[in-house]
Structure 1
Amino acid sequence: MCGRFFLQRDPAGLARYFETVNPTPNHPPSWNVAPTQTSLVVRRHPESGARHLDPLRWGLVPRWAKDTKDAAKLMNARADGLAEKPSFRDAFAKRRCIVPMDGFYEWRKDEAGGRQAYAVGLTSGEPMGVAGLWEGWKSPEGEWLRTFTVITTDANEKQGLVHHRMPVILPPEAFDAWLGAEPAEAHDLLELLVPCPAEDLAIWPVDNRVGRVAENDAGLLRRDPLAQPPPELDDAPPDLARPL
């Protein structure tokens, strides 16, 4: 599951990192992106083949949907059902994308029933290129809404200490294949949707106020001094603000 993530990078830096060519959108940083909010997505232009960085709304609305009320329910798409499920199969075949993240949040339950929030980033400090799908939906009034969903897979052994699911973090060498710049069969694409190596992740406890959508500031990424996590989940936060 991925229900919250953060993206604080300068869009110009993201455009360089993901090699996009369209005019860079003016998009503010967010330390608490929630479903139905807008974030940046990398897509491949069907005619030029170039990568574009565009703002889309989180929570997929399939083309055939009558309205947008179930969008938040489709914030995630399980990797093991993409080719068959009606909500995802057309986008999986034709509209794959990459969702840039600096990291994501997850909550761990303890034996007493409490929950502790954790932030997850790459130890390298680089952005995550998370596998996603996007759709364009036309309202009865004729207005277009473009939305995306985040693909999840089984957690690796480290992330599994927090939650049994995690977003699919693609290595840069897989970006072209996922976006469709290289020919690939469905089974080849599905083979990309695996957990990243556990050693690539830094995980640390953060303030539980991240659970409130209205909370959105850089302090959300600071280690919670009151938390008592297991050693495997008490990494030093990587440098997530260095220029790209």
Structure 2
Amino acid sequence: IPTKYFKKTKQKLSTANSENLRVNFKVTDVHICNEGICIKQSFILVTDLDIGIILGQPFLEIIKPFKVKTEGITTKIFQQKILCTFNENPITKDINLLKTFSLFKEHYVNLIKVKENHLYFTKQEISNKKLEHQLQIKEKIDSLKNNIINNFCSDLPDVFWHKKRHMVSLPYEKDFIKQNILTKTKPIQMTYKLTKHYKKEIQELLIRPSKSPLSYATIYKNSGTPKFVINYKPLD
């Protein structure tokens, strides 16, 4: 590979026994082609490695799901079957390890999808519950409002839903005359002490005509037992 394609990198690489390899450069935009299909990858350049090229975990992540067979790794890309053959005859133990790894990864991918679906439906259920709760609150508010209007405020004269609903004006009947209202007078018996007290106040002008619209006439009955007679007619 010409050195003009080398790029500095800080990536690290180690062997299976955790020994660090010397890594200084990497090559990007490398295409791995097989059966007319090319897969873009980047490679780390290692100076102390006997094998020419190793396709590791990043390559397997791109081609999964895949199957491990005796002749190599098979997968489908764009509905086309591709076989990546092994450089050396595989050991049975290594093939079984790759099979286990493939099944393990597939299981966890499916498990993640199941969890994602469960989370999605849980969010939908929570959203629906919130909406249902909001509708119930609105129904309760409307019910309370109607109850106040119909059962509490309907008998009040100044209810703001039906202003002046209970306001009426006189007279109730045709040919109504105020003087025809039947009134009664109520005599109030006065004691000697109270009679003496009123006479004194009248003489001293302590009791005089009132200009109040709520005033009414009072008649002093001197024959027999002294009594005050109050005419309530103006108050009616």
Same-fold call, TM cutoff 0.5: no
**Structure whose residues are more often helix by fraction:** 2
Query: Greater RCO between the two (CA within 8 Å, min separation 6)?
Result: 1
TM-score tier, shorter chain, comes to under 0.3
Rg bigger for which structure? 2
User: TM-score, with normalisation over the residues of structure 1?
Assistant: 0.20
